[in-house]
Structure formats: C-alpha cells, structure tokens
Amino acid sequence: MAYTGPFTAGDRVQLTDAKRRHFSITLTPGESFFTHKGEIRHDDIIGADEGTVVESSVGGEYLCFRHLLVDQVLSMPRGAAVIYPKDAAQILVEGDIFPGATVLEAGAGSGAMSSWLLRAVGEHGKVISYEVRQDHLDYAVSNVHNIMGGEPKNWDVRLGDVKEATRETVGEVDRVLLDMLEPWEVLETVRDVLVPGGVFMTYVATVPQLMKVMEGIRELGCFTEPRAWESLVREWKVEGLATRPEHRMNAHTAFLIWARRLADGVTAPRPQRRARR
C-alpha cells in the first residue's frame, strides 16, 4: 500500500458522495464497485491523484481519498471497544511516544492503539502487546495486519496476562500503557520493567477505577505524583450566520492517568498545597 502519490492497486480508498456518505474499497485491477448510482470501475481510479472525482456509470460523483489511519480505526471490525482518536492523540503526545521507543501495552483490544503506537515508534522501535482474550487478540492481529499491510516485524503480540511480564521476558521498556479492567493490580510489574524516567499511562473509564489507580501509584512510592484528566471534543457547524457548536459532541470516553518512573531508591518531594487564608 502506498501512503501518498497517485492511487495504485492495493490501496484502500474512501469514496464520498454528495450526501457525505462513505464507501470503502480496495483497488483491484479489473474489479468494479456497485452503488445505488451505478458502477464504479477500479481502473478509473488507479493512476489518478488523490482528491479527484470519479463518476459512476449513471452519473454519480464520488470524491476519492486514501483511508487515513483515523478512518480505519473508526471503521475496523472490533471485539473490544477501541481507544478513540481524541484519546489516542493525548496518549501519543503526553506519553512522548518517540521513534525507536520500546512500548509495553496491555491489553491489545481490537488493535487500534497498537496501530497508533507502531506508527509512532517506527521501524526501529518495538511494541509489546498483551491480551488475555483470544477472541480480542484475533481481532487485533487481523486489524493491525490490515492497516500495516502485513505483519509488522516490530510488533510482539502475546496472549496472556501482563502480570507475567518481567525484565527477563520483555526487557526494559521506555513507555507503558495500560487499558484494562484492573490496572492497579499490575503496578508492581510496571515498576519493574519501566526504565527510570519512563512514562506510564493508564486509560480507565470510571471514577472508582481512577481513584484506585491514583492511590496505588502514590502508595508504591516509585513514581512522580500522578496526573489525571479527560479530553472532550466538540465540532462546530460553520455556515455563515448559522455558525454554532454542533449539538452532539465526543464527551467522556475515559480518564487518562500519567506518571513517570523515579530512579531506584528515590523518594519524590511531597506535593504541597497552598495554605488557605
């Protein structure tokens, strides 16, 4: 699959009609895609530039672009819920996922976050993904292979509990991301495999989970004071005097928790709050 340039055979293309309905096809020479507005020949798209319009056999017009990763994530088959793009972006930036990093992830879910991480660490980095359920792992493997155009050489995917991870089995890792039901149960594992200065992030949906993770991090004493937040995204409708916020928005999906590993034997200064007057 090409990521830029004229369309080639094997590219996954998103067709958009005048009503902003989307249709996805994988370009195959000699094949056709049929809509309620007639036939669209793949050969009419292959070789054309992105952002062009293809016409169906009965005059329907469709705008053609390659699928972005965000499009693939939102439309992928899934067993477990995916980490949505607004939160994935926060994880990549706040977690400082850099080219060449080794990232430990649990669980793999449907493979959405694994795909973002693999893109971010690049060919010289590595992503180690644990998943306890075989059915979820099957979705993750299928989706990641589809997105990456095959089996990524830098993806180490494992069926099992991340509690089993040790420095002997995964080595030292630069970043840890937990998206699981009870992440407070594996904090000692995170402590043991994460390098000093490494970033630890957790994705949890409920307030009780948030509280237990935050308190667990504090009690362990080997991390900085944890931070917690959520991301809210609201689109706007911009049409002259009708400019206003959209009635629907991407509100709460989960809480993000962030902390950094301290050096062995170090106790961080206790956070002090301002005295009330």
**Digit-coded pLDDT (tens) for 175-224:** 999 999 999 999 999 999 999 999 999 999 999 999 999 999 999 999 99
Tokens 């000093």 label which residue? 196
Let me know if the fold of 6-67 is the same as that of 71-261. no
- How open is the CA angle 259-263-268, to the nearest 5 degrees? 60
Q: What integer pLDDT is reported at residue 14 of this predicted model?
A: 93
Across the chain, mean pLDDT equals 93
What's the one-letter identity of residue 128? I
pTM: 0.89
pLDDT for res 152: 95
Closest of 177, 7, 184 to residue 97, by C-alpha: 177
Q: What is the pLDDT of residues 67-105, one digit of tens each?
A: 899 988 988 888 888 899 999 999 999 999 999 999 999
Q: How far apart are CA 236 and CA 215, in angstroms?
A: 38
Give strand ranges (E) for 189-254.
Answer: 194-204, 227-229, 236-237, 244-245
Say what percent of the chain tops pLDDT 70.
99
- Residues of the binding site for S-adenosyl-L-methionine: 131, 136, 161, 179
> What does the pLDDT read at residue 96?
98
**Would you list which residues are annotated within the binding site?**
131, 136, 161, 179
Degrees to nearest 5, angle at CA 70 with 73 and 127: 65
Query: Is the domain covering 71-261 a CATH 3.40.50.10190 domain?
Result: no
Lowest mean pLDDT among 44-58, 180-194, 237-251: 237-251
CA–CA separation, 259 vs 229, rounded Å?
Answer: 12
Q: Where are the domains of the chain?
A: 6-67, 71-261
Q: What is the third-level CATH fold of 6-67?
A: Vcp-like ATPase; Chain A, domain 2 (3.10.330)
10-14, 226-230, 265-269: least confident range: 265-269
Residue 120 Rama label (left phi>0; alpha psi -120 to 50; beta):
alpha
* 40, 62 Cβ separation under 8 angstroms: yes
DSSP 275: P
Distances (CA, A) of 169 to 6, 150, 166: 44, 25, 5
Residues in Cβ contact with 93 at an 8 Å cutoff, skipping those fewer than 6 apart: none
Band of pLDDT at residue 1, cut at 50, 70 and 90? low
